[in-house]
């Protein structure tokens, strides 16, 4: 399936039905009075989060969504039928962005089954029955239905994952994702093998951790070079980052600094997220050289590193155990915060 993480669409809620002018006409009823019913309400535009979707590709083929008009009122005080709502299903993690500045977030859909009423249909107009009073016994007026709302918006998908994989192109992110999760990303010994974000899940009984692999970052990715800003957006919501450094690199510190520069410039709190440093492709380096690399990286970053080889399955258990330990600690802290919150009317 082709991946698409943003799309522009047009939305229009339904117009309300018109009110009716009608009078009761029956044999032997000389003054039947008004009996015109109100028009039906126009259809609404509703968004719904759907976990079975992971791309916005459907909106490439359909960009216009118009809800139905409410039915006009009729005699015998019959109210018109309500216009049918349109429910638009989008992947969980989709943001609805204003088309005016393409930045303002109008809605953020973060839960499976979550429904958001985005545009309300127009109210139906009153029939002439509504205008009857002690002074006017036979009103000959009604209201037209109100117009619906219309707007152009951008849909932008930001993947919901617990862990995000970071690194320069061809550092082994896809290989690691394939080795520790159920994902089957394209793997190749060349840069830009991964062109779209990939998701994988680590499962352990009733626990699961979702990992997101984004294409390798290049210089000035935070400015949008190589659509880097869209890729970085997919790890904004991650709780932890796996930062991969290629053991076979010419300058490991330069690689580390390059990635840190990009996520710092991008902002959104990425640089402050918990990071696990991984020296990948350790099978390509001799052990003595690998020890030197580890010491150099740990000294500069002041963090311990994990050495891994997806090919030889080395260090993978350590990575998985570290992730589960962090997630358990993270969930415990969040649960304590919820308990400490005091109720107030």
The parts of the chain modelled with pLDDT lower than 70 are: 1-3, 183-196, 205-206, 216-231, 333-345
Instruction: For CA atoms 270, 274, 280, 286, give the dihedral sign.
Output: positive
Q: Are 256 and 135 in the same domain?
A: no
E strand residue ranges, the chain: 6-12, 45-50, 64-66, 86-91, 94-98, 105-109, 115-119, 150-157, 163-166, 198-204, 207-213, 240-246, 274-280, 305-307
Domain with 134 in it: what CATH number? 2.70.210.12
Contact 107, 93 (CB under 8 A): no
How many domains in the chain? 2
- Using the 3D structure, point to which of 157, 187, 213 is the last residue of a domain: 157
Q: Are 143 and 235 in the same domain?
A: no
Instruction: For CA atoms 118, 122, 124, 130, give the dihedral sign.
Output: positive
Closest CA to 232 of 283, 273, 184: 273
Structural tokens at position 307: 């050495």
Query: How many whole angstroms separate alpha carbon 94 and alpha carbon 108?
Result: 6
Instruction: Evaluate whether residue 345 is within a structural domain.
Output: no
Domain with 176 in it: what CATH number? 3.40.50.300
pLDDT of residue 198: 75
Q: How many CB atoms lie within 10 A of CB 234?
A: 24
Q: Maximum Cα–Cα distance for the chain, whole Å?
A: 109
- Using the 3D structure, point to which of 115, 135, 157 is the last residue of a domain: 157
Q: How many CB atoms lie within 10 A of CB 337?
A: 9
pLDDT of residue 19: 95
pLDDT of residue 74: 93
pLDDT in tens, 7-55: 899 999 999 999 999 998 888 777 788 999 999 999 999 999 988 887 7
pLDDT of residue 334: 60
Q: Are 36 and 169 in the same domain?
A: no
- Residue numbers of the domain that contains 146: 1-157
């Amino acid at each position: 399936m082709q991946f698409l993480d943003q799309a522009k669409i047009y939305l229009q809620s339904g117009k309300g039905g018109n009110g009716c002018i009608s009078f009761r006409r029956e044999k032997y009823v000389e003054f039947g009075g008004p009996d015109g019913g109100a028009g039906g309400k126009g259809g609404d535009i509703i968004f719904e989060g759907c976990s079975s979707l992971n791309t916005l590709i459907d909106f490439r083929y359909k960009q216009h969504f118009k809800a139905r008009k409410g039915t006009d009122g009729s005699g015998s005080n019959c109210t018109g039928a309500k216009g049918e709502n349109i429910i638009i299903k989008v992947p969980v993690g989709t943001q609805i962005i204003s088309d005016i500045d393409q930045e303002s977030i109008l809605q953020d859909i973060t839960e499976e089954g979550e429904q958001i009423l985005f545009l309300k249909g127009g109210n139906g107009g009153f029939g002439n029955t509504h205008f009857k009073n002690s002074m006017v016994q036979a009103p000959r007026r009604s209201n037209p239905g109100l117009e619906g709302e219309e707007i152009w918006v951008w849909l932008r998908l930001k993947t919901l994952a617990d862990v995000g994989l970071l690194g320069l192109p061809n550092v082994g992110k896809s290989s690691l994702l394939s080795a520790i999760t159920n994902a089957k990303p394209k793997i190749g010994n060349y840069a830009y093998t991964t062109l779209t974000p990939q998701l994988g899940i680590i499962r352990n009984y009733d626990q699961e951790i979702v990992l997101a692999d984004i294409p390798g970052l290049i210089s000035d990715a935070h400015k949008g070079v190589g659509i880097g800003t869209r890729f970085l957006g997919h790890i904004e919501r991650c709780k932890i980052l796996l930062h991969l450094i290629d053991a076979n690199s010419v300058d490991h510190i330069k690689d580390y600094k390059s990635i840190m520069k990009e996520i710092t410039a991008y902002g959104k709190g990425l640089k402050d997220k918990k990071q696990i440093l991984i020296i990948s492709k350790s099978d390509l380096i001799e052990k003595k050289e690998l020890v030197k690399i580890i010491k150099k990286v740990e000294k500069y970053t002041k963090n311990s590193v994990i050495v891994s080889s997806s090919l030889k399955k080395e260090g993978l258990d350590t990575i998985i155990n570290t992730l589960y330990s962090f997630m358990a600690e993270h969930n415990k802290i969040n649960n304590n915060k919820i308990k400490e919150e005091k109720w107030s009317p």
